[in-house]
Structure 1
Amino acid sequence: MKENNFKTLNEQEKTSILTKTGVINFKNRLTLLLEGLSGNAFAKKVGMSEAVIRDYLSGKTYPSLNRLAIIAQKCDVPIEWLATGKGDCRLLTDPIGTESIRIPFHDLNKNVNPLSRIESIPFEINLIKNQGCKSEDLTAIWAKGDSMDPTISNHDILIINKAYCKPIDGYLYAVQYDDQICVKRIQNQGTNLALLCDNSKYPTILIDKNSPQNLEIIGHVIYLLKDF
């Protein structure tokens, strides 16, 4: 019997290959494809289980070729871009010659992160136009904690559209609750508004619609900038 000359790749070699090919950042491109949907809603959109999508978003696993093709087709993006980040995508614009504006950070969020001394963040105008919103309606906040893992991680930056404060079930909103800024999914539950966490370790917060004095909806999350 001929000896097998192939060796098993160690973790360092695997990471090196994934980094060089761009595959390692698949979770960030997948997060962009969610476009505000919950993990469960996106899983239904592409015909996969929420657990599978959750593993992809956390970087725990990567999709097989057939699943990659399905996600690309369902989301109308090139499979090469989805797999490696190379090539054109309708969600992105060519950085050459693009204009940008500076989006200010939300005043109430200054103490969340030492880096929040930065007053604003540059952002491409074309991405704003794709969402159909006005630059003056936008603000940025730092994510804090792990209550929205794996969708949002600690120190991620979120771009918020303050013009859209009417809650739609399942969408992400920045809210001020008990003098704290946080990001939650909002769901209408009869006389209550439910603030939902993507991380199952955290309980749902119920707010009475008749007395929401301790709740302010800052706006709808339209973009998520991941912290590496």
Structure 2
Amino acid sequence: MLNQRLRELRKMLGLTQGEFAFHVGTSPGYVSEAEQGKKVPGGEILRRICEKLNANINWLLTGSGDMFLEGHAGSLPSGSAPVRTTEYDFVSVTPYRAWESQSHGACVWQMDAHSILWLYRPWIECHLRISKEVVWSLCMQGDNMDPTLRAGDILLVDGSCKEVAIEGIYLICCDGMHAVRRVQRMGSTLTLSNDNSAYRDTDLDVSRKGLEIIGRVVARLAAL
């Protein structure tokens, strides 16, 4: 079974679930569920496992052949020495939830309650340069930001950005409606634009009642 071979591969390399997750770009929780057979890794995850850990895709999928590529038995690729991590090196990212009343009663912005993100703490604090306490996740809806952002992409939002100091993509709330827009400030005017030319841009006064900057989008985790 694939889940058993994943566990066998990880143990052969001497990696914890957190270390294995770091090398293939996923979360320890995902690795745990994959090893239990609760999740089946998709093509992109399998590609990373083979590329980053020198695993033989034929063995991984069928159990036939050698576990590792020829000449790489039980070793990580050059320059990929195990990173010693602990459970404290990963942090959960709080999903952003905003309920909006629509004719069909849909919740427009909501991460699935079972899709809590676990991200590598140094990546958040050193690469994104923000504190884990102010980062939220949300699932992109609609096509107004195509091709930059696509429906299903998971966005990370810096909740400490409550004003538009620099041009960028922001999560905003206007009159109770939430939206992701590219925002630029010129004096007292905010220009809310869409990367998809099929949608119109909008100009709003920064002092407009009911307008709130929720945060700036700082990263995108593409949907596979």
Instruction: Report the TM range for the smaller structure's normalisation.
Output: 0.5 to 0.7
Task: Trace 1:193-204 onto structure 2 (pairs within 5 A).
Answer: 193-204=190-201
Cα 1:119–1:208 change in 2 (3 A) is same
Identity of aligned residues (%): 23
In structure 2, C-alpha distance between the alignment counterparts of 1:113 and 1:167, rounded to whole Å: 21
Task: State the Cα distance separating 1:96 from its structure 2 match.
Answer: 6.2
In structure 2, C-alpha distance between the alignment counterparts of 1:195 and 1:141, rounded to whole Å: 19
Question: Larger Rg: 1 or 2?
Answer: 2
Give the TM-score normalised by structure 1: 0.54
Note if 1:158 corresponds to 2:146: no
Question: Helix, strand or coil for the counterpart of 1:147?
Answer: coil
Cα 1:121–1:205 change in 2 (3 A) is same
Task: State the Cα distance separating 1:114 from its structure 2 match.
Answer: 7.8
Give the TM-score normalised by structure 2: 0.55
Report the residue type matching 2:198 in the other structure.
Answer: K
**Which of the numbers 93, 96, 104 marks the counterpart of 2:94?**
104
Aligned length: 143
In structure 1, C-alpha distance between the alignment counterparts of 2:175 and 2:112, rounded to whole Å: 21
In structure 1, C-alpha distance between the alignment counterparts of 2:209 and 2:180, rounded to whole Å: 18
Cα 1:178–1:95 change in 2 (3 A) is farther
Cα 1:203–1:133 change in 2 (3 A) is same
8 A contact 1:104–1:119 mirrored in 2: no
Structure 2: 5+ residue stretches without partners: 1-45, 49-76, 100-105
Asked which structure has the greater RCO (Cα within 8 Å, sep 6+), the reply is 1
Report the residue type matching 2:95 in the other structure.
Answer: F
Per-residue deviation, residues 191-212 of structure 1 (Å, max 9, x unmatched) = 32111111111111211223x2
In structure 2, C-alpha distance between the alignment counterparts of 1:120 and 1:160, rounded to whole Å: 14
8 A contact 1:147–1:197 mirrored in 2: yes
Please name the residue that 2:140 is paired with: 143
Please name the residue that 1:223 is paired with: 219
Report the residue type matching 1:105 in the other structure.
Answer: P
Task: Trace 1:22-61 onto structure 2 (pairs within 5 A).
Answer: none
Which structure has the highest helix share of the two? 1
In structure 2, C-alpha distance between the alignment counterparts of 1:95 and 1:207, rounded to whole Å: 48
**Which of the numbers 169, 173, 181 marks the counterpart of 1:172?**
169
Cα 1:87–1:125 change in 2 (3 A) is farther
Cα 1:102–1:203 change in 2 (3 A) is same
Note if 1:126 corresponds to 2:122: yes
Q: CA RMSD in A?
A: 3.2
Please name the residue that 2:188 is paired with: 191
Task: State the Cα distance separating 1:159 from its structure 2 match.
Answer: 0.8
